[in-house]
Amino acid sequence: MNDAVKCPKCDGAGGTRWHNPDGSEWGVRCDRCDGFGHIPDFRRHGRSTPYTSAGIKRLPCARCGAKASSQWQVCADGRLFRPLCSSCDIDLNRMVLVWMNDPAAEAKAAAYEKREGA
């Protein structure tokens, strides 16, 4: 994949192919939108069993649309595993630690961010 390639519709990074409005293929598929500039709703991706480490990397983040690297499962969301990018995963972990009134929330979040490399 050429990192310099940008989606002409949303400026997302390229993937495997884009489609013209008539359905014909050209260029590289955008990992953020569907190739027509439409960023899919986060509920589009989610399943009851965990994604494999290879499978999760093929999906967009449920929050921002960037390339996913991890997954989260929430009971109130039907226990579906949702793909998250590294940045959103770090932000979510930080938010939950603060919500739980963890006295070392910021230190734990900083250590997690350093470990995950975002």
Asked if residue 56 and residue 95 are part of one domain, the reply reads yes
Asked if residue 57 and residue 94 are part of one domain, the reply reads yes
Count how many domains the chain has. Answer: 2
Asked if residue 99 and residue 81 are part of one domain, the reply reads yes
The residue to which tokens 């494999």 are assigned? 52
Asked if residue 10 and residue 64 are part of one domain, the reply reads no
The residue to which tokens 């500039």 are assigned? 37
pTM over 0.75: no
Residue 3: pLDDT band (50, 70, 90) is very low
Asked if residue 100 and residue 60 are part of one domain, the reply reads yes
- Region 38-45: mean pLDDT is 58
Asked if residue 59 and residue 15 are part of one domain, the reply reads no
pLDDT at 10: 61
Instruction: State the DSSP string of 66-100.
Output: SBP-EEEE-GGGTT-EEEE-HHHHHHHHHHHHHHT
Q: Do 46 and 20 form a contact (C-beta atoms < 8 A)?
A: no
User: Using alpha carbons only, what angle is made at residue 1 by residues 92 and 13, rounded to the nearest 5 degrees?
Assistant: 45
Asked if residue 100 and residue 73 are part of one domain, the reply reads yes
Asked if residue 56 and residue 85 are part of one domain, the reply reads yes
Q: What is the pLDDT of residues 42-97, one digit of tens each?
A: 556 888 999 999 999 988 888 888 889 999 998 888 899 999 999 989 999 999 99
- Whether residue 118 is predicted with pLDDT greater than 50 in this model: the reply is yes
Residue 25: pLDDT band (50, 70, 90) is low
Give the domain range for residue 64. Answer: 46-116
pLDDT at 4: 43
